[in-house]
Every structure is written in C-alpha cells, then in structure tokens.
Amino acid sequence: MEPCVTTAPAIELRRYGHNDLPDIRQTLLDVHADAYFDRRHEEFVQRFPWFVDHWGGREGFACVIAYEGGEPIGFTYGAPGEPGREWWREYLAEDPADPSTFSVSELMLRPKWRKQGLGQRLHTALLADRPEALAVLTVDTKRPRLQALYEGWGYRKVGERQPFPDSPLYAVMLLNHKHTA
C-alpha cells in the first residue's frame, strides 16, 4: 500500500489596478461579506461598497487578490497618498525626509484562511514595487493582536483617530517602507 500524499492547491496572488475595478468589485464585496458576516448589520460595515468605489476610483489604486483553486480567499488594496496631504503627519514630532506614502486601506481574508501567513503575503505583494517611502494603515484599537501583528511587520503606532462618527477608534500605523525591503 502506497502512502497517501495530499497537497493543498497553490495560492495564486493576482495584481489589479484602477482600470480593473469593474471586473473585481464584486469579488471584493463577496470576500468582505464573508469576512464580516457576524457584523453585517452594522452601518459602518454596510458602507464598504462606498469605500471600494472611493479607493478604486483613485488613479494609483493597487489591489492584490489571493485565489485558491480559482476562488478568491482574501485581498488587500490601497493607493498613494496625495503629496502635501499626509493626514498622519499630525501625529509626528518631525516631518520625515521623504513623506511619500502608500495608504493600505484594506486587508482581509475569508475566516478559514486567517492565521496562516496569507495576510503578510498579500501585504508584501501589495507593497513590493511601490516607490513610496512610507506605508500607512489603521487598525481598530479593540484588536490589539492585529496591531501587534502589524508591529511585527515593521509598523509602529503613531496615534489614534476616528475618521467617522460611527467608525471604530483606529490606531494609526506607519511603516518605513524603504528600510523594510
């Protein structure tokens, strides 16, 4: 009798840009619906389509979607910040020498794919060819383990903000991208 060997299907990461939004929009919404199923009735969670359109409408929009066997299992996306409008600067004592920033807006996985290193793979792929010196993201302050995960990736907390009255209070996390490659 030969030993049974099973191999998991490979995870494929695909890159998309601003012009691809019409083709990937529903995929992003579907993964989000699965990732936030337990919170689907919250008004802030229900506004996710607006955020997809807002970020996807930006010329520099970049997105990476992970697929297993052709099925989307997670994604991350963001866009470059506008020069001179780096909102996170208010949290720093000194301006960085190069304030060019890529804003990581979303990173999410379907529940069964969490805690397997896929989030970091998506994040690394999203920032791989970015010319910006810094990356910024926000994380719900009620998720300290997630904040610690980002700190393990090189981010540091520089402040807290609540961008909308019904949004969570977020930790503002900054990464010196030029020194992490």
**Every domain of the chain and the residues it spans:** 11-179
The reported pTM is: 0.86
137: closest CA among 99, 88, 94? 88
Within a 10 A sphere around the Cβ of 159, how many other Cβ atoms? 14
Q: Which of 29-33, 40-44, 62-66 comes out lowest in average pLDDT?
A: 40-44
pLDDT tens readout for residues 63-113 = 999 999 999 999 999 999 888 777 788 888 888 889 899 999 999 999 898
pLDDT at 4 over 70: no
Distance of alpha carbon 137 from alpha carbon 22, whole angstroms: 24
Cross-strand bridge partners of residue 125: none
The correct answer on CATH 3.40.630.30 for the domain covering 11-179 is yes
